[in-house]
Structures are given as structure tokens and as C-alpha cells.
Structure 1
Amino acid sequence: MLVMESTALLLIGVIACFSINVSFDLPSANENIDNVVSLNIENANIGQIILPTMHGAILETNINRDDDGGIYAELIYNRAFQGSISLDGWSLFWQGSIAASTIVPLSSALPVQLRYALITNSTLTSDFRNSGFYGMNIQARNYTARFFYRPLSGAYVASGKLNIGFSNSSGQIIYGSKGDFEFNLISCFSPTYKNRPNGARIDIAQAFADLKPGYVRLPGGRRGTWTGYDTKGFGLIELLTFVVDIGATPVLAVYVEYSLDRKAVPPDQLQPYIDEVIKELDFLTASASNNRMGALRVRLDRSQPFDIKYVGIGNEDWIDPASSSYNHRWSAFYNALSQK
């Protein structure tokens, strides 16, 4: 009989060690070969502990439409006509007309609005619709709709109310009432993860949370080669609130002035961009009582500072010309940020 005792067995991936006894009984000529090998686990000891921050996920908020139509719970596509003077995603139902207008804008940030006009002698109901992001998954639950509107000369609203609802056949939202109006920032939200205002879709957010990431790297950086329109509605506050809500540690990635299109700011001209990152960190972490960026965060309804322990300096530093200057960029940003 050959006996091997107290052998340590390392299970790669599980990272646990077991002390075991393995016995090999050599069978006799008449003995059944079954039950010859026995495995007895004497004790199980925890191996090396892996910190939660050793595994995580990345939220790439910089590709084409960013979070719009994805984790961001906004249902309306092209809600404020920000990308260009375009009514992409909007269509007229029955009679009347819709057009983009820049006359008397809602604000300098929202200079384009949708002008909706009925034919004067029309006897048919007319509305305008939004297609959503490749349609809308409408379910039996409460939705929150908000928008700005302005009656034009001669327009009126029956009973002082506009009619808002969902179409029965296609799942598209219908907005409208009789009269000629201008509309802007037309928004509709389904319920959000943990009921956060301007927050994340419950289904996608929960799937993300179920991964149990130890950290989440964000927010990417939308500069260089990526194209497409996005609202940036799911901003820094919303992103970091989501990361905190799923119990992960945020890793804030900052742009160090080189891009996928191989354009880069010379290393001796980095200071304005370093100052921009410092303002970003102040916005997220500073007290409102003695810092204007911290006060701005409070005005945007986030009174509690975020706990930012990690900052990722740059990304994809193997790309020329960054590969030849990253050491200098890293040092310049690190030396400035480590003083914070």
C-alpha cells in the first residue's frame, strides 16, 4: 500500500488550500477495482485574501451615444435638439407640421426648439411623436414626463392642459394638443434604480450590480475619433451615485491630452488641463463652504462630497505620440494631484 499524507492542493481561480490525505490501495487479483482511491479532506483553510479592488468593471461613457439609450433611463431620443438643428427621432401624426426653430430660444444652452403647428381649418387630431432609442419598452408602471412649451400667437390649450400619452400600437410616446406651440427639453423617464432622479434603468443597473464589481472605472473620455450625438444627461454626479449605489469603489479616469486620433498636447503645455482635473476633483470632493466647485455640486443637488480614493491618469498610453511622452505626462499630473 502506497500512502501520501498531508498534501497541499492549490485550486487555481478559487485561491483556497486544502490539506488532504490520499490513499492508494493496490487491489488484489480478486478485488473489485472500484473504491480503491479515497479522498479525505481533513481541514480547509482560507488562502490569500484578494482585495475587492482587484476586480472590477469599466463604464465606457465615451463611445458614440454614450449612456443615452443604454443605462440612462431617459426614453426620449433627441430630447432637446442639441446635436444639430435636426428633428431626428421626431415625426408628425396626421395633419399639421413640425419644424426646428431658433427664434427666441429657451436658453443659450438650448437654442433650438421644435415648432408644432396645426392647419387652421383642420378637423382631425394631430400630434407629434418620438421614436425613442430603437423603440420604447413600455410596461404597466408609472412614468415621469417633463417638458417646456410656449404657446405661439393665437394658440390655445383646451382646459389649460396639454394631452400626453402613449400610442397603443407602436409604443411611441405622443405629445400634443390643439394649437401652435414650441417645445424643448422633452423628457420621459421610466422608474430608475433606487429611485434616483435622472438615474439609471433598473434592468441594466441591476445586471451591472449583480456582477459585484469591486471597483468601477469611469467616465472614459469623449475626445478624438468617436462620433455621434449624446446629451451627457447621465453626468458625473449620476455616474458616481450609481457606482456608490452598487457598493463599488470609483476609479476616476482623467484625460491627459492625447487621443486615439494620435493628436496630443505638447508636454510643456499641460498646465491648463491639469487645472481642469483639479477643478473636477474639487467639484466631486470639496466642501461647499470654502470651495466654489464644491458649492456648484451642492447647487446641483448633491450636498455630500464623494469619496474619491483612486484616479486613473490617462488611458491607452501605448499609442504614439503618447508612448514617448507618457512618463512626463504621468509625472506632471501625479505631482499636481498628489498635493490635493
Structure 2
Amino acid sequence: MSGTSAAPVTDYTLTVDPSGRGPSIDDSMYGIFYEDINRAADGGLYAELVQNRSFEYDRADNASYTPLTSWATATAGSAAAEVVDDDGRLGERNRRYLRVALDGPDAGVRLTNSGYNSGVAVQAGQRYDFSVWARTDRAAGTPLTVSLDDASGALAEPLDVKVESDRWTRYTGTLTASRTSTEGRLTVSAGGSGTLRLDMVSLFPENTYKNRPNGMREDLARKIAALKPGFLRFPGGCLVNTGSHEAYEAPDWERSRSYQWKDTIGPVEERATNANFWGYNQSYGLGYYEYFQFAEDIGAMPVPVVPALVTGCGQNRATDDPELLRRHIQDTLDLIEFANGPRTSTWGAKRAAMGHPKPFGLTHLAVGNEENLPDEFLARFTQFRDAIEERYPDITVISNSGPDDTGAVFDRAWELNRAAGVAMVDEHYYNNPSWFLENNDRYDSYDREGPKVFLGEYASRDNRFRNALAEAAFMTGLERNADIVKMASYAPLLANEDYVQWQPDMIWFDNHRSWGSANYEMQKLFMNNVGDRVVPSEASGTPAAEAGITGAVGLSTWATSASYDDVSVTSAHGRTLLRDDFSGTDSQWTRAAGRGSWQIQDGAFVQSDTTAEDTMVTAGDPRWQNYDLRVRATKKSGREGFLVAFGVKDTGNYYWWNLGGWGNTRSAVEQAEHGAKNVVIEDGTTITTGQEYDLRVQIRGRQVTLFLDGKEWGSFTDKPAEPFRQVVTYDQARGELVVKVVNAQDAAARTRVDLGRRTDVPPVARLTTLAGDPDAVNTASATPISPQRSVLRGVDNTFSHTFPPNSVTFMRIKTRTPGS
């Protein structure tokens, strides 16, 4: 014997009924959600290489910005260069430009742009189209020299351009890279005399996706297209329903405005710029026309999202101006005409003039995004829907249910959506891996006669393989409920590694590389192997690893000073596990360095720092279960209330009762996993400063009941995380069963598969497997999580296969059955 222990194995059975018929799966089942977050557009999917090309950056968009952000100017002689906004501007929506005063033969200016990330990235042999809008008052014209260099020297032969008119004119040329660099700089030089004006300085690769002018960065677009998405939801997200909803007015051009589609079409130099909700300036070079065209290029159904005049994402305001509402409704009707109208219509003609005379074929449109005011939102949503259905009855108008998977806003929004007969509701949630493993059955109980579900944004909170595995387990439940869940998209789609506002993200990139996360590989596997209908199947479950919630206890605060007293933990059988009245020392408690200021004061345990967040101290044994925790708590000062923790495994994995959280606006039980938290239950309880509260938490197995001042505050049952999940679909075109098995645990899953005695199958099946370390992360330099293809032999009506630990396996089996 070797002396090494065998790898753990768990036994399962998987029974499939190929002759049975589950729900049909729409071609739009899985798609992509695009939002300009993490620099997804400028410096990302939009292929422009020059940053701040029209000098529109402003402190209104980002405190660090100036109109010359990403530009360096060097002058010689008496030359001077400054960004101005006057009557000499290029246009009312492109107001700032660079004015250069050249006062003699020795005068000169060098204007250098640093691009994104480390610089302007170019590839040897590739062609790059330069353009600039310019004018000069010098009768003989003003020559420009355009060069591309890095620290090692020239990257291309310089380009000579002569500005010949005092009217704004677009001048163009092409630079061919002589070598590859990621740290290039584009420089425009001028000399002589007179006044030179420059705007819209651009360097654009000719090699865009499908060679579209003003198009998409090829490697990013290719990765998106490889997903074979059924739909493209755009342009957001929070940037849709935040900011001012007012129309564009020249005096107010610096105001932060909600994303409005009419700002984003027409000639690029005439489009507006805007402050992005995510903290940076966004050009509208990538606009609604380009979104529609990209959806068409990748075979996806376009799903635009328009503002409902109720802000979300923490702003929570409703606009009551009836004229403003009327305008936005009309703008939405005009959008549908832009997408679908004949070239003889007003807005169809604008689409045709941009190069697409054929309609785009819009069928779905969403109004609003993550509004926290459900009553106000639905009142306005129904006005949008009524107007759309009157003129375009074939358009499906999508509502939403707020920013979370549960809670008062979610419940009220669904109540209103059902009462209003809404066709489809957009749900959003970002949760821990355990939530996805525990909620595979989420849609099993949804009303089959009610609104359909568009799961427009979801993700497990990291890009580790364990997160992708949890999402995969959840996705088997989405497919099983394909009659309810009609569309689903992971979010966000893109992240530039040097400009991150949110993570996890599906595809990561810098200025010259891109790589798919483990989540991307998982999404691609599902999206490329959907099938046409669900085949009934059933799998045995995994023996529970724990009988219930297990862990120590804790006390904490968040930007608040609070005192705690008379802490006791008693077992279900009445045995005292912990008692502390703080009449002595705090030796029973463990604190992490730098987490608040805890000390015993007047016989209580007090945290006094009102700026410290998450100050948790812990006591007890992580193996405790089936106990009652009691404590008296008093808020002394600060923004919130107090936090009482239970089931504490460590300072990143626990439950806590958050009373007076979120600025003392509500209370909830949250489950933390590796530091990230999900809301389990919540209500509107707030905490009064100076009032003492009696708190009791009762844990019995997986059942938790919470008492506030002797009255039951709430209860919940902790669901077991099931790591073994499956769904089976049928691919009509290939005549194949697609058996999809998730094994999100460290043990291999030895599985007996029963296809039924009447099933005619060949002895060979094709496998595609994702497997690896659950903590593995794909990076620019290494992709440990990537699909492995193999062949399984010995397939029959019944056969056995061992699914690797921490894996997802797609098994394709040719079959001819009575139900096929």
C-alpha cells in the first residue's frame, strides 16, 4: 500500500427521461449586459486610442480632471496654447477646443497624448487612421506633423498634414506601425504664425471588429461574439437612470445628465459628452447606432434601456414634471422609430443616413433600472408602456424589481408588476457563492401565469473559480425554469484593470491584452450549449456536511459608538457556554488590530470610535451550535445602530443582526462569506440613541429566530448549500442530449446515469469540462480555468461516470428516443 489516502468520493444517481418534455428554451435565454463601467467604452470596447480627444474633460466629471487631462503641451518661442470655449467652437455639443497662438517663425507647439493605461498601444504592420478637426487664420495655411513614438524612438513614419482653411475641416492620414509597443505617444506639432484651432484629435485602428469605421476593439468584440449571446442589453445600468433628466441645453452643458439616446447619434463630432455615473468622463463615440450595429454583428437581439424619470442607484428621486415625462415618452417612441422605422420616417431617415437603411428589428425595450421607489416607478412605467403599446403593440416593454433579490422594495415591485399585467420583470442581484448554491430552486415556485423574468444582472462576488461554479449551479435552475426565466445575463461585462469601479467582471483587459475570467469561461460553456428544450432529470442529493449553523458569537459597530452588556450564550439544553457582565476584564473577547476602540466603561463593553467600520470582537467556540445568544445594547452616538454576530467561523464568515444599518434606515440579518455580505431578511426597524435594547438570537439547527425587547423580530431557515446540480437539455439540430453537471465540492462525484431502457444511444459521448482549484483566477498571463475536451466511452442506457471535484461537465450524447 502506498500509505496515501484515497481522494474523497461521493456517490450520486442521475436519472434522465429523454422521452419527457420540459419547457422550451428561447434563443434569447442567455445574453450580455453592457454598461460603461470600469472604462468599458472609451479606452475599452470603443477602439479610439486617444484619450480626451475633444478636450472636454472637466472637474464636474472627476475632481482630478482638467481639459488637458492625458495631454502634454510644449511650446517654443512666443507660442501659447490653451483650451477655450467661445464662438469659434466646433459645435454646440462639442464646445471646447485647443487654441494655439503662433507669433513668428520661431513659434511652435507640440501636443502629445498619452492614451490609456500605459500609453497608445500599436502593433507592427497595422494601420492607424489619424484625423483632426482644425482651422487656421494663416492665409498660407499651417502645416502639422503627426508622429507616433515611445521611449525607444519612432513607431511609424511621421505624417504631414496641412490645415488650409479658417473653417472647421476634418483632416486625415494614416500611420503604419513599424514595431509593436504598448507605451506609444501620439504627437501633433505645428509652427509658424497665426491662430490655429484643433479639436477631435483621433487615432483609430483600421483593424476593428468587422472593420467597422468608428467601431469596436477587435479582441474584446471577438471575445463577446464567442459567447454567442442571444441578446445585448445596453447602455446600463446605473448610468441610465441617474443624473438630470433634462434635455440638453447649451448653458448647462457641464451638468451631469442621465444617458439619453439622442445625444449619442449622428456625426461623432456633433455628439455630446457627459459625466459618467461611475466617476469619469464618457464620450458618446460609442452610441446607440453603434450598439444596434454591434448587436446585429454578433447575432444578438438588441434590448435598450431608457430612463423612467425615477432615479435609482442610491439617488431615489422621482420627477413630477408632466412635460418632462411627456418628452421622455416621445423620445422612447422616437427610439423605436430610429430602430425599426422605414427610411422615409423622420428617425428612420437618420438611421439610414448613418449607413443602415434596413431596420434593426427591435422587439424588446426596458424602462428603468433598479429604482428604489416602486410605486413612483410603476406609475411612470405604465405611462411609457401604454404609449408604446398604442403605437408599437409588438414591442415587449420590460419593468424591474429594484436592486436586490429580496426585501420590501422587491416584494412591493413584484406586487405592482403582477397587478399591472407587466410582461417581463428585470431582476438584479449580486450575492455570495453560498447564496447561488442554496437558491437553485428560486424560480421553481414563481407564478407560471404571472410576468416572465429577465435576470438582467447577476454575479457571485469574485472572479475565482468557486464563484463560477456557484453561478453554474444556479444556472441549471434557470434552465430548468426556462418557461419563467426567459433571459439572463451576467454583469458587468468588461473591466479595464487600471480603471476599476466594480468587480467581479466577466472580461478583463488593458490597452493591448484581454482575458476571460473563470466566470467568462463558465458563461461561454452554458451559452454555447443551451439546447432547445429541457429534458426531465433528477439527481440524488449530497449528505449535509453540517446539521445546522455552527460558530462563535460577536459584537460590532459601523461608524457608531455603542455599548454592550450582560452577554450570555446558553445551549439548547440550558448549559451556560458564555457569560460576561463586564464587571472585570474583557479577556473572553478577541479583537482584530485596528478595528475600533473597545474598552470596559461603567460595567459595559463600549466601542467609542464613530469613524471605524466593522469593529467586530468575537468570543466563544466556532464549533458551537444550537444555542441562545442574549445581549443588551445601547447606541451612544454615530450614524447607525449596532451589530450582533452569530455563527462566527472567523471575521470574514458569519451572520450578523444589523440593527439600524444603512444610515439607520433599516435593519437586516446579513450573511458574510469571505467578507462579502448578503441580506437574508430585513425590515424598517431603526434605533434610538440612548435607548437600551434587549436582543436574543435563538439558533436551532438551521432555524434562526430573533427577538427584540421580548418580541419576535423575524426568523429564517438557513438553506443547505447543495454542491451537486444538474440539468439536461435537448439539441434538436444535432440530435443530442446535453447533460450538464456541476460538482462544486472537493470530493469527486461518482455517478450512475440512467437514460431509461428505451433510449437508443451510441457508446461514445463528447465531454467538455471546466475543472480546477476553486481559488484559481484567470489573468493576463495565465488561464488555469479553460475548457478541456475529451471522449467518454462505454455509454449505454445506464453507465457510470465520475465527475471531477470542483468541476462543470457538459456531456453530449447522440440519441433517438420516442420523445425526440
Q: Which residue of 96, 104, 110 maps to 1:127?
A: 110
1:34-53 matches, cutoff 5 A:
49-53=24-28
What is the aligned counterpart of 2:213 among 197, 218, 225?
197
Alpha-carbon distance in structure 2 between the residues aligned to 1:47 and 1:9: 16
Matched positions, count: 295
Matched-pair contact (CA < 8 Å) for 2:80–2:101 = yes
Using the TM superposition, give the Cα deviation of residue 310 of structure 1 relative to its aligned residue in structure 2, in angstroms: 0.8
Aligned to 1:184: 199
Aligned counterpart, 1:274: 329
Q: 2:97 aligns with which of 113, 116, 122?
A: 113
- Give the 3 Å change call, closer, same or farther, for CA 48–299 of structure 1 in structure 2: same
The answer for the alignment partner of 1:175 in structure 2 is: 188
AA at the equivalent of 1:253: V
**Contact 2:240/2:307 (CA < 8 Å) preserved in 1?**
no
Residue number in structure 1 paired with 2:348: 294
The Cα of 1:155 is off from its aligned counterpart by 7.2
For residues 146 and 46 of structure 1, the distance between their equivalents in structure 2, rounded to whole angstroms, comes to: 58
* Alpha-carbon offset, residue 179 of structure 1: 2.7
**Quick one: structure 1 residues 286 and 94, their matched pair in 2 at CA, closer, same or farther if it must change by over 3 Å?**
same
Counterparts of 1:4-23 in structure 2, within 5 Å, are: 9-10=14-15, 17=16
**Contact between 1:224 and 1:259, CA under 8 Å: does it hold in 2?**
yes
Aligned letter for 1:80?
S
| Match of residue 307 from structure 1 | 361
Shift of 1:18: 6.3
Structure 2 equivalent of residue 147 of structure 1: 132
Aligned letter for 1:184?
D
Partners of 1:264 and 1:64 in 2: CA distance: 27
Gaps of 5+ in 1: 1-7, 11-16, 20-43
Distance 1:113 1:155, change over 3 A: farther
Matches of 1:165 and 1:294 in 2, distance apart?
Answer: 40
Paired residue for 2:242?
Answer: 224
- Structure 2 residue identity aligned to 1:86: P
Q: Is the 8 A contact 2:241 2:308 kept in 1?
A: no
Query: Contact (CA 8 Å) 1:256, 1:313: kept in 2 or not?
Result: yes
Other structure's SS at 1:146 match: strand
With the length of structure 1 as denominator, give the TM-score of the two structures.
0.77
137, 152, 155: which is aligned to 2:121?
Answer: 137
Tell me whether 1:211 sits opposite 2:259 in the alignment.
no
Match of 1:56 among 20, 25, 31: 31
Q: What is residue 101 of structure 1 aligned with on the other side?
A: 84
More helix by share: 1
RMSD: 2.9
One-letter amino acid of the structure 2 residue matched with residue 316 of structure 1:
E
Residue in 2 that maps onto 1:27 = none
* Whole-angstrom distance in 2 between the partners of 1:70 and 1:53: 25
- Tell me how far 1:9 sits from its aligned partner: 3.1
Alpha-carbon distance, 1:207 to partner: 1.3
Mapped contact 1:152–1:182 kept (Cα < 8 A)? no
The separation in 2 between residues aligned to 1:253 and 1:87, in whole angstroms, is 33
Higher strand share: 2
Q: Is the 8 A contact 2:115 2:185 kept in 1?
A: yes
User: 1:314–1:107: structure 2 CA closer, same or farther, 3 Å change rule?
Assistant: closer
Contact 1:87–1:114 (Cα < 8 Å) also in 2:
no
Give the distance between the partners of 2:121 and 2:68, measured in 1 at CA.
Answer: 22
Asked if structure 1 preserves the Cα contact closer than 8 Å seen for 2:48 and 2:203, the reply is: yes
Contact 2:329 2:384 in 1 (8 A): yes
Counterpart-to-counterpart distance in 2, 1:177 and 1:314:
48
How far did 1:162 drift?
2.6
Q: 1:337 aligns with which of 388, 399, 402?
A: 388
What is the CA distance between 1:50 and its match in structure 2? 2.5
Distance 2:302 2:290 in 1: 12
1:209-247 alpha-carbon deviations (Å, 9 max, x no partner): 122221111122445261432111101010111111111
Indicate the larger mover: 72-81 or 85-94.
85-94
Provide the secondary structure at the position in 1 that maps to 2:202. Answer: strand
CA distance in 2, matches of 1:244, 1:198: 16
**3-state SS of the aligned residue for 1:185?**
strand
Cα 1:334/1:223, change in 2 over 3 Å: closer
Which residue in the other structure is 1:242 paired with?
A: 294
Partner of 2:41: 67
TM-score by length of 2: 0.34
SS at match of 1:338: helix
Which stretch of structure 1 is more off in the superposition, 68-77 or 224-233? Answer: 224-233
Of residues 259, 263, 273, the one that matches 2:317 is 263
Task: Tell me which residue corresponds to 1:163.
Answer: 145
* CA distance in 1 between partners of 2:289 and 2:131 (Å): 20
CA distance in 2, matches of 1:45, 1:198: 50
**Once the 2 structures are TM-superposed, how far is the Cα of residue 184 of structure 1 from its aligned partner?**
0.8
Q: Provide the residue aligned with 2:68 in structure 1.
A: 87
The counterpart of 1:233, out of the listed 259, 282, 285, is 285
Distance of 1:80 and 1:256 partners within structure 2: 30
C-alpha distance in 1 between matches for 2:40 and 2:192: 36
Give the conservation status (yes or no) of the 8 Å contact 2:82–2:98. Answer: yes
Q: How does 1:23-38 map to 2 (within 5 A)?
A: none
Q: Which moved more, 1:258-267 or 1:132-141?
A: 258-267
Cα distance in 1 for residues equivalent to 2:84 and 2:137: 12
In structure 2, stretches of 5+ residues that fail to align are: 1-12, 59-65, 152-182, 244-276, 393-820
SS of the residue aligned with 1:116? strand
* Shift in alpha-carbon separation, 1:324–1:144, aligned structure 2, 3 A: same
Residues 1:121 and 1:272: Cα distance change in structure 2 (over 3 Å): closer
> Who is 1:32 aligned against?
none
State the secondary structure of the residue aligned to 1:335.
Answer: helix
Write the distance in 1 (CA, Å) between the matches of 2:138 and 2:287: 37
**% identical aligned pairs:** 29
What amino acid maps onto 1:176 in structure 2? S
- Residues in 1 aligned to 2:357 and 2:41: alpha-carbon distance in whole angstroms: 24
Q: In the alignment, which residue of structure 2 is the partner of 1:324?
A: 375
Distance 1:64 1:98 in 2: 32
Equivalent pair of 1:64/1:230 in contact (CA under 8 Å): no
Residue 331 of structure 1: how far off its partner (Å): 2.0
Secondary structure (helix, strand or coil) at the match of 1:295 reads: helix
Report the AA paired with residue 110 of structure 1: N
Mean CA deviation greater in 186-195 or 108-117: 108-117
What is the SS of the residue equivalent to 2:386? helix
Gap change, CA 1:116 and 1:64, over 3 Å in 2: farther
Where 2:83 maps in the other structure, the secondary structure is strand
User: What is the letter of the counterpart of residue 148 of structure 2?
Assistant: F
